[in-house]
């Protein structure tokens, strides 16, 4: 999930160190490997997705009609099916708006989702959902989280939904522990772990915090710009994207690329298999034009994508098996499956 303040597609400029290939971006004649899959939900946006296997995936988001509809869908290997709203908040009033911002699994039988709900009386609160292998249930109410990363069932981290502070919460199997890393630095965008003793949290002002299993330490900041995504490709190495692309390696930020746009989402299934999305300025298109990149263990290579594909999250399941979710050119919830050619 990405902070709600971002606008798709976000912008970036090609770096000379990244190797481009031709892109079939003609909306009517695209013949590349990304195929749009019919997605329930209608007008709205998918914020996040997570796949336990090629036939077990979840995606979540928010409705764009203002009718309070829940956008939570499941992939069974054949099609997406809506998970119907089971009435979690009926005791508090009529749902006016619901946004599920992130979904994450530590195992096929342990899933987490976070979001917020606004009722017709304008009461507003956040919530945590949990999956027990059979169904989702309301786990916690009156919390404000927007992103999740789980290492194990009793080792799960959450970013607090704050625009001003770096709020982190840790589920230890009994309770949520609160961490405020640096008050007033305008918040965190993304968090990821290579292991229980190696994690990174990134955000505004290019803040980068490192978790060593005991404490969070500030290792970078720059008053200007933003780092909005992070993902580990091995247990000890990671890429960090945003206004630039950085490399976490050997305990240091050892490599980065500067450019005038942004990289906005990363995910790896293996050290030599991963995907990244972003955008670059295009004359005559104020919001820019999005692009997809593939990691082969050595270099990032520009991949083709449909013109009408605007990702908000990307997920690499395995070699040649990936998904992107977001919004399509008609303002509807969209999902795209990578089908190698």
pLDDT value of position 12: 30
Cβ partners under 8 Å of residue 285, min gap 6: none
Residue-range domain boundaries for the chain: 34-338
Which residue in 230, 304, 310 sits closest to 268, CA to CA?
230
- Which helix (DSSP H) or strand (DSSP E) does residue 51 occupy? strand 44-53
pLDDT value of position 152: 97
Cα separation of 160 and 140, whole Å? Answer: 14
Sheet of 300-303: strand order equals 262-270, 273-282, 285-295, 300-303
Three-state SS at 90: helix
Take residue 236 and report the two structure tokens written for it.
């000890």
State in words which class domain 34-338 has: mainly beta
**Beta bridge pairs of residue 244:** 258
* Tens-level pLDDT at each residue, the chain (341 residues): 444 334 333 333 223 233 333 344 455 578 889 999 999 999 999 999 999 999 999 999 999 988 889 999 999 999 999 999 999 999 999 999 999 999 999 999 999 999 999 999 889 999 999 999 999 999 999 899 999 999 999 999 999 976 566 789 999 999 999 998 876 557 899 999 999 999 999 998 889 999 999 999 999 888 778 899 999 999 999 999 998 899 999 888 887 776 666 889 999 999 999 999 988 766 665 555 678 999 999 999 888 888 888 999 999 999 999 999 999 989 999 999 999 88
């Amino acid at each position: 999930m990405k902070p709600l303040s971002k606008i798709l597609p976000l912008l970036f400029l090609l770096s000379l160190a990244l190797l481009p290939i031709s892109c079939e971006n003609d909306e009517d004649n695209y013949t590349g490997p990304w195929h749009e899959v019919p997605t329930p939900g209608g007008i709205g946006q998918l914020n996040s997705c997570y796949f336990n296997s090629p036939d077990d995936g979840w995606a979540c988001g928010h409705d764009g009609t203002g009718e309070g509809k829940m956008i939570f869908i499941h992939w069974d290997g054949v099609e997406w099916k809506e998970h119907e709203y089971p009435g979690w908040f009926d005791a508090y009033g009529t749902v006016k708006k619901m946004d599920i911002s992130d979904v994450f699994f530590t195992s096929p039988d342990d899933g987490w989702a976070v979001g917020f709900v606004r009722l017709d009386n304008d009461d507003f609160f956040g919530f945590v959902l949990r999956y027990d292998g059979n169904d989702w249930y309301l786990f916690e109410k009156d919390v404000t989280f927007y992103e999740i990363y789980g290492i194990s069932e009793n080792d799960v981290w959450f970013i607090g939904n704050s625009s001003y502070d770096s709020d982190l919460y840790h589920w230890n199997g009994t309770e949520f522990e609160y961490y405020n890393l640096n008050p007033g630095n305008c918040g965190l965008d993304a968090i990821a772990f290579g292991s229980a003793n190696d994690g990174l949290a990134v955000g505004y002002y290019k803040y980068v915090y490192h978790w060593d299993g005991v404490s969070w330490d500030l290792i970078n900041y720059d008053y200007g710009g933003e780092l909005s995504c992070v993902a580990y490709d091995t247990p000890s190495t990671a890429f960090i994207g945003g206004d630039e692309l950085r490399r976490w390696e050997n305990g240091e930020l050892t490599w980065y690329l500067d450019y005038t746009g942004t990289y906005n989402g990363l995910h790896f299934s293996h050290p030599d298999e991963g995907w990244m999305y972003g955008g670059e300025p295009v004359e005559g298109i104020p919001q820019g034009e999005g692009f997809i990149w593939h990691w082969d263990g050595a270099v990032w290579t520009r991949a083709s994508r449909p013109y009408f594909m605007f990702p908000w999250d990307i997920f690499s399941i395995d070699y040649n098996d990936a998904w992107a979710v977001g919004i399509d050119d008609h303002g509807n919830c969209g999902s795209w499956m990578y089908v190698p050619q």
